[in-house]
Amino acid sequence: MAKIKIEDIRKAAIEHNWTLLSDEYKNLDTELTFECNEGHKIYLPYKKVRDKFICPICQQNQYNFTKEIIPKSKKVQRSIGLDQATHITGYSIFDDGKLIYADVFSAGADDEIERDIEIKNWLIQLIQNWNPDIIGIEGIQLQQLNNKTVGVTTYQTLARLQGILMATCVEQNTEYVIVPPATWRSHCEVKGRSRVDRKRSMQMKVKEWFDITVSDDIADAIGIGKYINDKHKKKVEIFNWE
């Protein structure tokens, strides 16, 4: 077997979205310094890193979700936040303030109504699998660019989809709230003048709160879920036993 060179390690690190910070490699047992894709510093010998590239800090982060469905306890309020786009739906799930899951669903169909049905069927299963108490759906808004209204076609597409999502929640006996974008963004203290800046700002909030790097769709869904979780608490009935 050919001797490992530092260039090989550097290349392998890049392939795993890591960076090798050390500039000297002696052997498999000497400690090297790496930086993972989440910016954590890792001090391990190459023997422990190679083939796997598993960051010990990422690994113990509870917010790196597996695909496992977590059963809902009766005592908690479970809220779901949905960030709706025409093809990609970001979603987040909170149990009493704790983020327990976040992911995206991609609808593949090119035809609008077929895609809407695909999203509807997905939402039914999301509700049945996770049993949320409440779902936050982001309100739609007309995009303004240089004081001109743009994206009217997209707006109409999203309006039709929103109606379908609302009806699906009702059919599934699940409470929902339409959340205007400005409302959840101000609750999460999202900053930025442009759409791109605001999306980036929410991604940075998620990194700050949970130490995970997520797509803008997931980040926005987490913002919506957090707003719903904080502002729409289930009314707990208090009985007076006297």
In Å, the largest CA–CA distance within the chain is 81
User: What 3-state DSSP class applies to 84?
Assistant: strand
Q: How far is the CB of 45 from Zn ion (least distance, A)?
A: 17
Taking the C-alpha atoms of residue 143 and residue 161, their distance in angstroms, rounded to an integer, is 17
- Which of 199, 196, 208 is closest to 38 using CA atoms? 208
Residue from the set 32, 55, 177, 188 that interacts with Zn ion by CB under 5 A = 55
Q: What are phi and psi of 43, to 5 degrees?
A: -115, 95
Residue 53 or 155 with smaller CB distance to Zn ion: 53
Residue from the set 16, 40, 72, 120 that interacts with Zn ion by CB under 5 A = 40
Q: How far is CA 153 from CA 56, 102, 156, 170, in A?
A: 46, 28, 5, 26
Residue from the set 12, 58, 70, 124 that interacts with Zn ion by CB under 5 A = 58
Q: Count CB-CB contacts under 10 A for residue 180.
A: 12
Residue 177 or 212 with smaller CB distance to Zn ion: 212
73 close to 42: Cβ distance less than 8 angstroms:
no
Regarding 57 and contact with Zn ion (CB under 5 A), the answer is: yes
Stretch of 33-41, 176-184, 208-216, 222-230 contacting Zn ion, by CB under 5 A: 33-41
Stretch of 30-38, 65-73, 124-132, 208-216 contacting Zn ion, by CB under 5 A: 30-38
Residue 169 or 218 with smaller CB distance to Zn ion: 218
Q: How far is the CB of 220 from Zn ion (least distance, A)?
A: 23
Residues within the interface to Zn ion (CB under 5 A)? 36, 38, 40, 55, 57-58
